[in-house]
Amino acid sequence: MIPDFIKARRGVALLGLAAIGGVVAGAIAVYVNSRDTGNVAELAAHDCSAAIQTAGLLEPEIQGDLAAFRAVKEPELLHDLVFKAPDESDTGIADFGGKTVLLNLWATWCGPCRAEMPALDRLQAELGGDRFEVVAVNIDTSSRDRAQAFLDEIGVSNLAFYADPSTGIFNDLKRRGLALGLPVTLLIDAQGCRLGGLQGPAEWDSEDAKSLIQAALDA
- 202 within domain boundaries: yes
Is residue 183 within 8 A of residue 110, CB to CB? The reply is yes
Same-domain status, 103 and 197: yes
Q: How many Å apart are CA 160 and CA 111, to the nearest integer?
A: 20
Same domain, 24 and 70: no
What is residue 128's DSSP assignment? -
Are 121 and 16 part of one and the same domain? no
In sequence order, the 6+-apart residues with CB closer than 8 A to the CB of 54 are: 189, 195, 216, 219
Q: Are residues 161 and 147 in contact, defined by beta-carbon separation less than 8 angstroms?
A: yes
Q: Please provide residue 143's backbone torsions phi and psi, each rounded to the nearest 5 degrees.
A: -55, 135
Strands 100-106 and 132-138: parallel
pLDDT in the model for residue 4: 52
Is 42 among the domain residues?
Answer: no
Going by their DSSP bridges, the two strands 90-92 and 82-84 should be labelled as antiparallel
Residue 112 C-alpha from the chain's centroid: 23
Question: For the ranges 30-39, 93-102, 204-213, which has the lowest average pLDDT?
Answer: 30-39
Percent of the chain as helix, strand, coil, to the nearest 5: 50, 15, 35
Best CA proximity match to 200, nearest among 60, 28, 70: 70
Does residue 112 sit within a domain?
A: yes
Residue 11 pLDDT greater than 60, yes or no? no
Mean pLDDT in residue range 151-165: 97
Indicate the pairing of strand 194-199 with strand 184-188: antiparallel
29 has a pLDDT exceeding 60? no
List, for residues 91-124, the tens digit of each pLDDT value: 999 999 999 999 999 999 999 999 999 999 999 9
Here the CATH number for the domain that contains residue 51 is 3.40.30.10
Question: Is a pLDDT exceeding 50 seen at residue 33?
Answer: no
pLDDT of residue 142: 87
Same domain (yes/no): 58, 111 = yes
- Residues 126-155: pLDDT tens digits? 999 999 999 999 999 988 999 999 999 999
Same domain, residue pair 94 and 136: yes
